[in-house]
Structure 1
């Protein structure tokens, strides 16, 4: 992988903020009465969940500061997260090569673990997410069977160990380790991945972002704060340490209760804000093509899945649940495209859940989106239960077919 890929954070799913869309989220509590027995006007037809992996070891550590001990015991899998699973390509063949994971394993953190590895805490977080989904879709709604069956549930992950293991843990929580068959977790080669902004596979996205990344740390306000925090932490001038790297190490330590340099504490809010500011500069939020190239194919896939369910054209007519195990670099542009990004990084284990419903009276299809368990009002929609045509129109600016995506990506330079 190129140095730019590692720098841009795709390899490690460093959080990426894709623009300054106004926070237009309407938070409401999930509709607990949404069950046939309560006479709800909508019938649930399909559920799709895009979720971030759980807590992990840092991608890099801040040089010249007090080091944390990332020991192997932090990675022990809880027994209740074990399931019988197999990782394959999209056609059910052998798992593709994993150059991103190979890159992690070229380095060892202090304590003896590799960068970017799912921890015991991260595994529990995804098990808990699975348990929450179980409560809603198995216990309250009787929508899913109580045990895993491949015909009903599709599991897709990026080809990185932490997302694969996160998918495993979610399935364990969702079905309480009950399974009739081995769980297939599907992956694809890095160059064709659509579950994160793919600089490696899209020339145009790389061309749009590379030079702006170089500029981001030199913007006057960011550069001034960066110089001050380097001085406060005692980071030598020759180290290329930006706010993204500092944030990644800081959050990983905090999450696992490991010590951070005392001098970092007063800077915590600044680190969060400046990391976002850098990403806002990189991804030019006013340009919709950046969101198209980042998550357009994924959004198109979600829409296609709903259309196939309604039209009965799916090769798996019994499928009720699509699970997509991904990264913060996936969720943030998705939240941006949905118009509900609050300019805060999605925490470990955060999820966007997209439900397809049909009116019991008219058969009209509706879409309901929730973020971390809270229902959302999508801009352009007339209600939380959004008519499918309204939802498609709201997504039309960012959704991108595979054909159009590949056509755009082959342009090595941005257009006028």
Structure 2
């Protein structure tokens, strides 16, 4: 039906105005984007496809002959996936990286695990194919590039496995919470079913996640799954697994102690870059890690939508400077498929968050002194989570221990006095050369 008359003209005029405004908005966005300069990028990704870490007892595919690379190792598909991601990153960061490798441009850090180290190597093969003077053997299109790592037991930043008693305490208290216990109890029929058929005890979301991961990998490799798995795979195992990924950082305190050092390192490096204190003055920093690292980072940043991070899932924190502003801003992207990633909506800040504001948004998860905060004694002073009964018990034990020590000291003093004071030779500490 045609719209005519005064109302028809008004409607057409309104539509025209909307179209013009949309066009102006698009043009303005394009102009702003063209005036922005990418300054620095942090890239954190999960390793590529791997074999199961540990098959379950009744697994029909548990014979190592089915997995030529061994348990928990990178497969050829995983190498290929990271080679392609490296090529994609080369295109995305071509304004930051020279064609030939320079340690002044990039730094690569991996957890101290075979599959993450090999993934970083595969990724760099795509990021830096040798050209010009970098060609050192005409028979291979590859060149060695350094990858740095730290033993997991000493790594509080990337592996996040360095001992932190306060974190262990907080995680235990979280798992003892009524909400977590109710959720876990609701899964008991599923746990019992899986335990009966897999031959492995499953009594927690983490244990269920391990079974899900094994089945998922076997499915990806075209292995036929046992009939019993049809009752639980992919659902509800997949959903249980997604919940498990959020557990380790699901409170501000857990996030602060688990992933806070990594976020703080990234933000401080952004700040050093802007203030020209970054030496060498690199432009790209790459972290090769795990699905738990990806989920922990996103959850700590309050950007995690429950899911199982796929192989080679990639988080990018990018620092840009606009031509019409002195304040640099940060955008966070997540690439978990082959599609182009979209900027994520940072809480209370948007997709283009000023760097100074970012420190404010995440102030509660940036540790002042991680080593000190990890001490249980500091925990008891700062995060009072124990109930009064537990606190009273602890105070009572400390009081009795103190009294016992004082009694021992008084006894020693009385004994020494009877033996002539402190001048007896046996009271001296002997030091042998």
TM-score normalised to structure 2 length: 0.70
Aligned partner of 2:160 in structure 1 is 198
Q: Secondary structure at the match of 1:225?
A: helix
CA gap 1:283/1:46 in 2 versus in 1, 3 angstroms: closer
- The SS at the match of 2:364 is coil
Q: Is the 8 A contact 2:330 2:352 kept in 1?
A: yes
- Is the 2:202–2:208 contact (alpha carbons within 8 Å) kept by the matching residues of 1? no
**Alignment RMSD, CA only?**
3.0
The CA deviation string for residues 228-259 of structure 1, in whole angstroms up to 9 with x for no partner, is 3344xx23476879312211201221232233
Deviations 1:72-114 (A, max 9, x none): xxxxxxxxxxxxxxxxxxxxxxxxxxxxxxxxxxxxxx64543
Q: Which residue is 1:265 aligned to?
A: 230
1:400 aligns with 2:367: yes
Contact preservation (8 Å) 1:199, 1:205 = no
CA distance in 1, matches of 2:182, 2:57: 18
Q: Is the contact between residue 156 and residue 186 of structure 1 (CA under 8 Å) also seen in structure 2?
A: yes
Aligned to 1:23: none
Match in the other structure for 2:111: 158
3-state DSSP of counterpart to 1:62: coil
Q: SS of the counterpart of 1:393?
A: helix
1:320 aligns to what? Answer: 283
1:294 aligns with 2:233: no
What's the offset of the Cα at 1:147?
Answer: 2.2
Pick which of 265-274 and 177-186 moved more.
177-186
Q: 2:348 is matched with which residue? A: 380
Alignment of structure 1 residues 2-401 onto 2, 5 Å: 40-67=34-61, 71=65, 111=67, 113-138=69-94, 142-178=95-131, 180=134, 182-196=144-158, 198-210=160-172, 219-231=184-196, 234-236=197-199, 242-267=207-232, 268-278=234-244, 282-283=247-248, 285=250, 287-317=251-281, 319-372=282-335, 373-381=341-349, 383-401=350-368
Q: Which structure has more helix as a fraction of its residues? A: 2
**1:200 Cα deviation after fit:** 4.3
Q: CA deviation at 1:291?
A: 0.4
Aligned residues: 335
SS class of match (1:376):
coil
Q: How many Å separate the matches in 2 of 1:193 and 1:34?
A: 41
Name 2:400's counterpart in structure 1: none
- SS for the counterpart of 1:60 is coil
The alpha-carbon deviation at position 196 of structure 1 amounts to 4.4
SS in 2 for 1:354: strand
Structure 1 counterpart SS, 2:156: coil
Aligned to 1:22: none
The runs of 5 or more residues in structure 1 that have no matched partner are 1-30, 72-109
Aligned partner of residue 287 in structure 2, secondary structure: strand
Separation in 2 of the partners of 1:303 and 1:218? 35
Partners in 1 of 2:175 and 2:222 — Cα distance? Answer: 31
Q: Deviations over 1:5-47 (max 9, x none)?
A: xxxxxxxxxxxxxxxxxxxxxxxxxx9x9999x9712111101
8 Å Cα contact 1:158-1:195 kept in structure 2: no
Instruction: State how far apart, in whole Å, the 2-side matches of 1:365 and 1:159 are.
Output: 33
Larger radius of gyration: 2
Measure how far apart 1:131 and its partner are.
1.1
Q: Which runs of 5+ in 2 are unaligned?
A: 1-25, 135-142, 336-340, 385-433
Task: Name which structure has the greater RCO, CA cutoff 8 Å, separation 6+.
Answer: 1
Change (3 A) 1:151 1:115: same
In structure 2, what is the Cα distance between the partners aligned to 1:284 and 1:137?
Answer: 30
1:410 match = 375
